[in-house]
Amino acid sequence: MSILTVVLNILLPPLAVFMKHGLGVTFLISLLLTALGWIPGVIHAFLVNGTK
């Protein structure tokens, strides 16, 4: 995982997921979790971007 990805995972989780996976279900889940609370969005972004 690059430094840019880590920074985006922390600051803008949906953007980080979009950059790695594009528009899709994963992006929508990240957007929803970030809207519900910033911490769930960050956790989801790290999990999703760390596995692929």
* b/e per residue 24-40 (b: at least 16 CB within 10 A): eebbebbbebbeeeeeb
Domain ranges (residues) in the chain:
3-51
pLDDT of residue 2: 85
d(CA 41, CA 19): 15
pTM: 0.87
Model pLDDT for residues 33-46, shown as the tens digit of each residue: 999 999 999 999 99
d(CA 26, CA 52): 12
